[in-house]
Amino acid sequence: MHPIQLIVFLPLMAALVAGLGARLIGKVPAKLVTTGALFASCALSWMTFLPFLSGSAEASVVPVLQWVRSGDLDFAWALRVDTLTAIMLVVITSVSALVHLYSWGYMDEDPDQPRFFAYLSLFTFAMLMLVTADNLVQMFFGWEGVGLASYLLIGFWFRKPSANAAAMKAFVVNRVGDLGFMLGIFGTFLVFGTVSIPAILAAAPGMAGSTIGFLGHRFDTMTVLCILLFIGAMGKSAQLGLHTWLPDAMEGPTPVSALIHAATMVTAGVFMVCRLSPMFQTSETAMTVVTYVGAATCFFAATIGTTQWDIKRVIAYSTCSQLGYMFVAAGVGAPGAAMFHLFTHAFFKALLFLGAGSVIHAMHHEQDMRYYGGLRKSIPLTFWAMMMGTLAITGVGIVDVFGFAGFYSKDSILEAAYASGTSAGHFGFWCGITAALMTSFYSWRLMFLTFWGKPRWEQSEHIQHAVHESHGHNAHGRGHDDHAHAHASHDGTAGYHPHESPLSMLLPLALLSVGAVLAGFVFHGAFISEGGGEFWKNSVAFSEHLIHAMHGVPEWVKWAPFGVMVTGVAIAYFAYIANPGFPAAFTAQIGPLYRFVLNKWYFDELYNAVFVKPAMALGRVFWKQGDIGIIDRFGPNGAAAMVARGSRIAVRLQSGYLNSYALVMLVGLVGAVSWVIAK
């Protein structure tokens, strides 16, 4: 069997074993099977990636089976392996394997562990199917599989109403984007007569300048197709307008947040745009749309991250913002920079989410940072892991010397945006710089509120309640309580002592920390060097000219991210360490603006007013006027009721006495004779 087949299908087989056979093999074997399969896939993925890194590997396609043959629609199920695929294989399997291991500790007391691990492996299989797709239908199969698995994982604690609501919201919002993606696939097949990705990309330049009929008008063909495809990417990657599902998805277990919303599912849209970059680059309008949407999302999400108190929601909005950076890079014609940031982001964002999970684990599932404080002494290993992630996401580093992962990848995007020389690129640059300032602020705000200052645990009713509980289900109905807190006293939180997480949770943090520190430094030469064309051959539309222009931008452009990073740290230190009363006083001064940002720009309220309430009102009309007023009135309550009443009357005539029937016959006969005589 080819290694790529093992990489893809091992998680599927593990999911089937754990999901269907858990009662036969037990909880621990189910966890061993899924975790072992993911580590095997991870090892094979790195073995696949390293030859591409060294330039010794060539793109290939591994057939699996003939899939569909219907008229002109003819394609096989085949696994494509090139540089872009190899990068995604490493990202997906590395993060998923570590999340599986981390979940051994985090989900230790959950009674449904086999189901949880089966869902994790199923999600990984769907994501691997997506990135190895050789045609658009196969990509859509993986795309929808990821959506299904994310629904199952977000709503894993299905007895918790907010988790059910979040899962449904993610499913519905993604269906909106998926409609655009489907229309894009239909249109692409209509125009090119094939769904084969290599064939489409080869023919795309020849379609530049042509027009197509759409909604009764003529439009540029490639612009229509690319924008429809991008709508799908907006939904999956939570871009502005279709972003509302992402923060609510934090209702799932923290390992789910790290797997789905840090490294894999939300990057599917970025991957798709980069995979189809030769197609997108035939339409300047489509590229401009991608750039503006990415830049607006980058800025918008960063503003919200500065006001949130839930530790997971801060990181969730950070993810949304970082995805905006990736789309800016793809939109200005630098898919290599977009994929580089996707690669480094996988390590430091998974690290931040799993680190946050370790904090939540230590704090009896309290997620409000206002009830943290001083934790660096209680959970030092988690503290240092979170520190590495924060240094990476804020882009700490010195130009031409050394930097953490985000320093290389995020700065390369800003340089590409500036070097593009377009108005959209410059808009993306300034939005990105502003977002970098806010990223530094909210990241260090999280660190200062969590790990510095005086402990504020006694203010948390949740922790007080948890301390008084026994080993049963916790207050949120998660079925996951932390047995290690049993030693806490039962007189409030006076005897409460947060503790470090188990080794199964700390080991993934240590490995991800290595990636957060070194991924940018080690790999930036391959991703964004002027000789990167060989690395990216037959994979994405690589522009040597833009890469050369990136390295020639003014010095102030190179140093600007460093300047805003330091400024953000200084503001956070002043507000939360040096002068803790400043934030309350400042937010009181800008009350309306603060409430606007705190309430996430009122997108949920707007959608509720524009879409949800009218839909509910229309549903009530169909229910009361249509179903009850018409169907029931003339159906069960109308004609059927008349038949029933007629039957009851007819029953009274059936006495069962022969003389009665003879009398009726005689009366009928007399009546008939009388009518004939009268006539």
Buried (b) or exposed (e) across 12-24, using 16+ Cβ within 10 A?
A: bebbebbbeebee
Distance CA 139, CA 126 (A): 10
Q: Cα torsion for 20, 26, 31, 32, to the nearest 10°?
A: -110
pTM for this predicted structure: 0.88
Q: Which of 535, 295, 300, 321 is nearest to 420 (CA)?
A: 295
Ordered DSSP codes for 587-654: HHHTHHHHHHHHTGGGHHHHHIIIIIHHHHHHHHHIIIIIIIIIIIHHIIIIIHHHHHHHHHHHHHH-
Amino acid found at 279: M
pLDDT beneath 70: ranges in the chain: 262-263, 460-496, 531-533, 653, 679
Q: How many helices (DSSP H) and strands (DSSP E) are in the chain?
A: 29, 6
Q: What are the structure tokens assigned to 182, written together? A: 């489907």
Distances (CA, A) of 120 to 11, 101, 125, 175: 9, 11, 9, 21
Q: What are the structure tokens assigned to 570, written together? A: 């200084």
Phi/psi of residue 212, nearest 5 degrees: -140, 145
Distance CA 269, CA 286 (A): 15
Q: What are the structure tokens assigned to 263, written together? A: 């490294």
Q: Which helix (H) or strand (E) holds 316?
A: helix 311-331
Distance CA 412, CA 415 (A): 5
pLDDT (0 to 100) of residue 227: 95
% of residues, the chain, pLDDT over 70? 93
Contact 359, 372 (CB under 8 A): yes
Q: What 8-state DSSP symbol labels residue 502?
A: P
Q: What are the structure tokens assigned to 6, written together? A: 């093992």
Contact 363, 463 (CB under 8 A): yes
